[in-house]
Chains A and B, each alone.
Chain A
Amino acid sequence: MAANRETKDLLMDVNQLDFFDPQQDQAKTPSEPTEDVSITSEDMMLDELDPVSQAPVMRLTKKSDQPLLNGKSGTLNFQLGPLSSHNLAFVDGPNQHTIYPVSLPNIDNSPEFTEYASRLFEVYYQLGDHRQFSVPTIGVINKRSIGDHNQVVNLSMENIVNELRIFIENGREKDQITDRILDLEESLTILNCLQLIHFTLDNSFISEEDGEGRLKFIEELLNWVNRSDGEPNDSYIDQVFNISSKHVVETPLFWKLLNQLLLRGLFEQAIACIERSEILTYLDTIAECSVSASIIRDIISLLGIYPRDSSTTFREWKSLALELVNNFANSDTNVSGELRDYIEDVLLVISGNQNKILHYSKTWYESYCGLMLYYIPSLELSQEYLTMSLKINPLDITNNWEKACADIINGNISSILPTLESLDTCTAAFTAAICEAKGLLENPNDILNNNDSDFSYGNESLFSPNNGMATYLINNFALELCSHDDRDLWPISIGLIAISPMINGNSNSIKKATISELLLHYPFKTNDDIEWMLSICAEWKLPEVAKTLYTILGNQMLYQGNTIEAITNFSKGGKFELVKQYSWMMFEASILQDGPLDDQILNSIVSDDHSNIPEDVLDSLVTNAMRQTLAPYAVLYQFFQARDNKDWVEANRLLIALLSFPYLPKYYLVLLVTKFLYPIFLIEGAPKIEEQDVLLIIEALENKWDVEDERSQDLYSAVLEQLPVDVSRTLPEGMDKFINVVRKRLSFKLYEEFV
């Protein structure tokens, strides 16, 4: 345990740097499948690439359940769904009755992702005018303004990197799948490098020469290199210190480890390594070489004061290191030639000797870091350092980030964006946008030949290459968010489409068209959601989309049995045919049930009693169109009240108003006559009807009574079925005969009036 703790002392502060440990994260992956439901990503992912396309391959389902294994046959079909996490495959073949839901790869539906995307959007949105990079070409060029712009954009980049770090930490805490964390870690390494090289030393306040600039630069350099791979690792350090045949300082492994720590700027760990080796005791007592011991003490002192924050002090520090090299070279020592060489190599590394730095580097980025720390710390030499480093240690092409980081150092930012996109579309989109704001991406017009037909047609497309790669990635990501089935991501999506920079002056029209086609897919649930959708419609002047939304809402309300709300929405959606249809349907239902419908809202609308529902709520429900279409029901409602109160004069007046209503569908005349006019006013002993009213009734019957009309016949039959047997027997079976009965009774009424 003690040895292990000592080993830990030689590592960087893990808690602070939090570099990735695949084994540890693997252990965190959920390993307890819950019943048969859990088909984990491990079940599905195949550790291979498709031989034709070189794309990653995954299984449709568990290997044992694959539908086309073991001689099973059929044709494979696949349907992409509106939600990226829900797509379906099925096999059209004998005994193939299973349907296979499939989520698209690399879709993160976690709440942490939503939070991450929101934060990045906020960072990008707050850039405001700084989202666009412009080179002032006329007027007085204000250098300060360029510096200010850089400062704002650099700060945004810093925020993005921080948010990514937090996102990774949150993901680890939630035990998210390892592959995803690995991809994000690679993204972070690329972003760390990007920030180091292009977002640190060029604003109004920070330069290479001043202390703050150097401190920031060195910290970011060490953060990038050391977080990228987490080397040197525990087992390697154990291996170095557990050699028993020799004293550790006599082994080359120890000196390689020490130099590796130095090249990576891990000064505390390097000092701890020296102390753990007990080299001073070895030199003082075993080798009895006070010169070497003194040099080691000087090295420890030098490492303890490496000037991270001052270029001037660095030059002094380097002079001291060179002095030590000279002193040691000119001193006689009492140690073996091999050990003397090792000590000398350490001195040469920290004094900036290029050959030794390159010699002791295991990777190109270690030597790049070493050169920046000990040779000449200048970004101007960055590409030169990279070239030198790559000659000794080529890129490892098995990971994504090394090539991307090399491209960043070479200033080729556009080429890293596809890599970032393959790792995480969110990070890629916002990083591209920030790079665009910084002016790091090539002007698309410079790289595209505008005469090329491939590119000339789509000027107004959101995805036109003419708008640049950043706009392409931003808009792609915006559309991707709409398939996440997460309402919180929609404002980000719409926001991104709205603010993404486009070259074409008419870009608003394509943005408006895009939003109009997307918006209806918003998975609204609450009134607030609907309000939000309507606010977008208002902002972008999309009345047709709003109308469609109201129509969809109307249908949903109808499905839930809320007829009045449905009619309100149909009315707002301009579907006046439906408003009329459902208003008349309520009218019909009310007649057939011989009383007002059991609908509190409807009855509050048509009555003066607003005790149950506040008037302002009713006002918001009732549109002008509804006031007209519900009017017949309102009259019918009042008729029922008058009838129930035996106010026959009023009841008669209201019924005649309905019968003579010019827009009354003719089939409802049958209902009104059979249900109310005949049984209440025309049978023997019924209340009187004024002559004038009788004439109005006769006129209505002449105009609308249609014995040929199927709907009228159906309704007449329905009424007959409803009536008690003793009453229905008194009525003829056919409408044609019934009208004769009615006419006869009306004539009698006229006669009665006359007499």
Chain B
Amino acid sequence: MAGMKPFNSGHEDLIHDVVYDFYGRHVATCSSDQHIKVFKLDKETSEWELSDSWKAHDSSIVSVDWASPEYGRIIVSASYDKTVKLWEEDPDQPEGSGRRWTKLCTLNDSKGSLYTVKFAPPHLGLKLACIGNDATLRIYEALEPSDLRSWTLTSEVKVLPVPPANHLQSDFCIAWCPSRFSPEKLVVSTLDQASIYQRGKDGKLYIVAKLNGHKGLIRDISWAPSIGRWYHLIATGCKDGKLRIFRLVEKLSDNSSKDAINDSYDDEDVDMEDIAENKEKSLLGSSVSVELLSEHDDHNAEIWSVSWNLTGTILSSAGDDGKVRLWKSTYSNEFKCMSVITSNS
């Protein structure tokens, strides 16, 4: 722990997101001050140094993400100004100039404030998903790898029949399935529901499973890297004070929609309409079953963030009890809190 020196972000308003790049050597932060900042790690001193800062949007920036290094040095940002913007680092511009990151593109299809934006894992191509207050999941792709300024809206899915009223609390989160051995999949949380979408052979997104049991807004969702495992783990942090860990198992199906549907839903309170909508499941080529692996109320307060480490072996949760809890799976597949980091004592 020695040498871990806190640093002033320099943001002048609420910080909303902090994201590492692929190698963990750079961090991008965003804030209500409408700025994005990029910090780089000085390996010698283990300190974070500001690389550049620039005004990126006309309203609060709530989410940032890094593209995989195989696509260059690219950041995406999402804002309450209803736009998603893509930025590319220009190494010819000096650090700290405010010009080091040049805008590639603005995506302005959203009808409401955006809440989150996430790049897809690189094996799916240069692709991103975003969601906001208009309750519409949008997926964009840079179809020409040689032209990163051109992005195409390839999928648009309404995740709620009616967008939530503005005066009510709402939350939307996205997490992509990071495994290169799985078909394109992502989990989307909308208010207190979380659904797993999978792209079918016809190119459309289908709900293949739901993560049930949440009794409040889902504040964060994180899909674990499934390195060394053939099953997936998804963690959610919820307003009801519970950290939930779901296990998702995929099976290659014989394209039988009936089997696929039966296998996909183990829970009783599944919306039959959803099932009916998903008769095209035979298009998916695989079926998914989800089970709630464990549920932890150690925070005993609203949980705001959950994240997995590089290998999907350690999970963190941070909540309104002012504590970060680090969880690790035991030999018997139980998640146990191995350490607690407190911010208030």
Contact = CB atoms under 8 A, between A and B. Distances in A.
Interface of A: 30, 36-41, 43-46, 50, 52-53, 55-61, 63, 65-69, 75-94, 96-105, 177, 418, 454-455, 457-458, 460-463, 465, 469, 472-473, 475-476, 479-480, 482-483, 485, 497, 510, 513-514, 516-518, 521, 523, 548, 551-552, 555-556, 558-561, 573, 575, 577-578, 580-581
Contact of B73 (A46, A559, A575): A559
Interface string B302-316: 101101111101111
Contact of A89 (B8, B22, B73, B343): B343
B338 interface: yes
A85 B48 CA distance: 13
- The 5 nearest A-B residue pairs measured at CB: A462-B228, A53-B337, A82-B24, A581-B146, A68-B344
Given A75-B304, A75-B320, A56 B340 contact: yes
A739 B339 CA distance: 74
B1 A40 contact: yes
Given A78-B318, A100-B6, A88 B341 contact: no
A555 B71 contact: yes
B258 to A, nearest CB: 22
A76 B340 contact: no
B126 to A, nearest CB: 11
- Best-surrounded residue of B1, B8, B24, B41 (most CB of chain A within 10 A): B1
B14 to A, nearest CB: 6
A84 B72 CA distance: 24
Contacts of B304: 75-77, 92
Given A38-B3, A98-B6, A418-B330, A463 B229 contact: yes
25 contacts: A40-B1, A50-B337, A53-B298, A57-B341, A63-B345, A68-B343, A76-B305, A76-B324, A78-B316, A79-B307, A79-B316, A80-B310, A92-B15, A92-B304, A98-B9, A101-B7, A462-B228, A465-B331, A469-B331, A479-B228, A518-B311, A521-B22, A548-B122, A555-B73, A577-B146
A78 B324 contact: yes
B320 A76 contact: yes
Contacts of A44: 1, 4
B91 A560 contact: yes
A465 B332 CA distance: 7
A39 B5 contact: yes
A60 B229 contact: no
B20 interface: yes
Contacts of B146: 577-578, 580-581
A90 B9 contact: yes
Contacts of B19: 79
Nearest to A455: B333
A89 to B, nearest CB: 6
B94 interface: no
B100 to A, nearest CB: 12
Given A44-B1, A96-B14, A463-B329, 20 more contacts: A36-B5, A46-B342, A55-B338, A58-B340, A58-B342, A60-B343, A67-B344, A79-B19, A79-B305, A81-B309, A81-B310, A90-B29, A96-B15, A97-B15, A98-B6, A99-B7, A99-B29, A102-B341, A476-B313, A479-B311
Contacts of B54: none
A76 B308 contact: no
A458 B342 contact: no
A82 B20 CA distance: 8
Interface of B: 1-12, 14-16, 18-20, 22-24, 27, 29, 41, 45-48, 69-73, 89, 91, 122, 144-146, 179-181, 225, 227-231, 249, 298, 300, 302, 304-305, 307-311, 313-320, 322-326, 329-333, 336-345
Contact of A82 (B23, B229, B316, B319): B23
B9 A102 contact: no
B333 A454 contact: yes
A61 B122 CA distance: 35
A41 B1 contact: yes
A63 B229 CA distance: 40
A461 B229 contact: yes
Nearest to B27: A88
A411 B243 CA distance: 38
Contacts of A465: 331-333
A102 B298 contact: no
A101 B314 contact: no
Contacts of B326: 55, 104-105
B263 to A, nearest CB: 13
Nearest to A91: B343
Contacts of A559: 72-73, 89, 91
A483 B324 contact: no
A346 B275 CA distance: 83
A588 to B, nearest CB: 13
A542 to B, nearest CB: 11
A575 B6 contact: no
B242 to A, nearest CB: 13
Contacts of B6: 61, 65, 98-101
B8 A98 contact: yes
A39 B2 contact: yes
Q: Give the residue among A88, A177, A458, A556 with the most B Cβ atoms within 10 A.
A: A88
Nearest to B296: A53
Contact of A104 (B8, B314, B322): B314
A90 B91 contact: no
Contacts of B324: 60, 76, 78, 89, 102
Contacts of B122: 548
A483 B229 CA distance: 18
Nearest to B45: A37
Contacts of B48: 99, 101
Given A84-B309, A101-B6, A458 B91 contact: no
A578 B3 contact: no
A82 B22 contact: yes
A60 B344 CA distance: 9
A521 B311 CA distance: 10
Contacts of A555: 69-73
Nearest to B41: A86
Contacts of A83: 24, 310
A552 B23 CA distance: 12
A556 B228 contact: no
A476 to B, nearest CB: 6
B45 to A, nearest CB: 8
A89 B341 contact: yes
Contacts of B24: 81-83, 86, 485
Contacts of B333: 454-455, 465
Contacts of A177: 2
Contacts of A87: 316
B228 A475 contact: yes
B3 A78 contact: no
Nearest to A468: B331
Contacts of A103: 1, 4
A513 B229 CA distance: 9
B154 to A, nearest CB: 18
